[in-house]
Amino acid sequence: MKITMSYLPLLLFTLLLTGCHSVGKKKTEKKSEETATYTNPLPVAFGDPYILSASNGKYYMYGTGGVKNGFAAYSSDNLVDWQFEGKVYDGAQPGSWTLKNYWAPEVYEINGQYYMFFSADWRVNPNNELENFRIGVAVSESPTGPFLEVSDEPLFDPGYPIIDANMLQHGGKTYLYYSRCCYKHPVESEVADWARTKGLFDEIEESWVYGVEISDDFTTVVGEPLLLLQPPSVMDDPQTEWESRSVTSGEVNRRWTEGSFAFEHEGRIYMMYSANFFGGQNYAVGYAVGDDPLGPFIKAENNPVLEKNTAQGGDVTGTGHNMMFRSKDGEKMYTVYHGRTKESGDERVVFIDEMRIDGSGVLTVDGPSTSEKEL
């Protein structure tokens, strides 16, 4: 067909318009391809999850479970697709101080080395205690191990079982946080009096969070541990209701303050912690804020910041033992934690949700979520 000069401007305009639409469509598709989305829970059956944002550009997840007598790891480039890296710490290594019950590993990258803090039952148990947990440290040149213990003894022995090690370096010093187990630790309080009056329990055992300075090589403690967090002792304390649900529901005669995770934000120290029975529906997360790594810490008015969502029609329960990490660009804060769903049953599975701290210092968590989300 012959194209006359009168039709040429119209044809050029049509071609230009079509081309613009095509380019716009390609850009939209490219943006969609680059946007990472995910849905909780992740396909990882860990309790007490911990994510290391490593200098090699990858994320590494560690936790309780996944292998026998030790710890496993997963790796990811994008927090969505996770690859199983196998066993990275073996409790059967020669000269180990450990025996069984390997819990809550946390891995820190320091000067090109990777240090794992963890809990386990100590072989030295002359009184045959049912709970004989202590804290140890292992080191590796790779985030995927093998991690080898730095000593044939625990980091220290406070004289009672301890779990949930967390480490913070601040002001040129290194601090260790841990939880004293509930085991053989009955505490008198108005909650204990209430439980006796109701005929639920004769005594209430409690776990408390302590902090202590440790040497830079992670082999010894410096000074005496200080008590930092514990369950409220009076009924009218605003924290008592949510921190005592395991007792008031008749579930168990224990109140927990455990799974602490400390981090610095705008010159203040935030300490997140979990309360209630880790194996029950009421496990939940709160936080406290202080100006010094060894306190005092003041619990937040908006606690709990993470709890079961069954009252809102969801099926997530047992949310707890969390930690905070930042995106690679430092723009976003995330929390990783374990929980349970109807589908997972008693098995703990991993969740990741965004968290924020506003200009007033108030911390919130966008979870627990089970719908598709963008990272």
List, for residues 167-224, the tens digit of each pLDDT value: 999 999 999 999 999 999 999 999 999 999 999 999 999 999 999 999 999 999 999 9
Count the Cβ atoms, other than its own, within 10 Å of residue 246.
23
**26 within a domain of the structure (yes/no):** no
List, for residues 140-182, the tens digit of each pLDDT value: 999 999 999 999 999 999 999 999 999 999 999 999 999 999 9
Q: Rounded to whole angstroms, what are the CA distances from 116 to 57, 63, 141, 317, 330? A: 19, 11, 11, 28, 23
* Angstrom distance (rounded) from CA 293 to CA 277: 26
**174 within a domain of the structure (yes/no):** yes
Specify the pLDDT at position 2. 38
Specify the pLDDT at position 10. 39
Q: Of 238, 256, 257, whose CA–CA distance to 247 is shortest?
A: 256
Specify the pLDDT at position 20. 38
Confidence of residue 57 (pLDDT cuts 50, 70, 90): very high
**40 within a domain of the structure (yes/no):** no
**337 within a domain of the structure (yes/no):** yes
Q: What's the one-letter identity of residue 174? A: T
Q: Each residue of 339-372: b (16+ CB within 10 Å) or e?
A: bbbeebeeebbbbbbbbebeeeeebebebbbbee
**11 within a domain of the structure (yes/no):** no
Confidence of residue 34 (pLDDT cuts 50, 70, 90): low
CA dihedral 105, 97, 224, 291 (to 10 degrees): -10
**297 within a domain of the structure (yes/no):** yes
74: pLDDT strictly greater than 60: yes
* Angstrom distance (rounded) from CA 112 to CA 68: 28
List, for residues 83-95, the tens digit of each pLDDT value: 999 999 999 999 9
**148 within a domain of the structure (yes/no):** yes
**Structural domains counted in the chain:** 1
**Domain containing residue 212:** 58-374
pTM: 0.90
337: pLDDT strictly greater than 70: yes
Q: What is the CATH number of the domain that holds 356?
A: 2.115.10.20
The token pair that represents 196 in the structure block: 């006796």
* Angstrom distance (rounded) from CA 64 to CA 54: 20
Are 114 and 143 in contact, with CB atoms under 8 Å apart?
yes
* Angstrom distance (rounded) from CA 137 to CA 151: 8
Specify the pLDDT at position 36. 83
**34 within a domain of the structure (yes/no):** no
Specify the pLDDT at position 77. 96
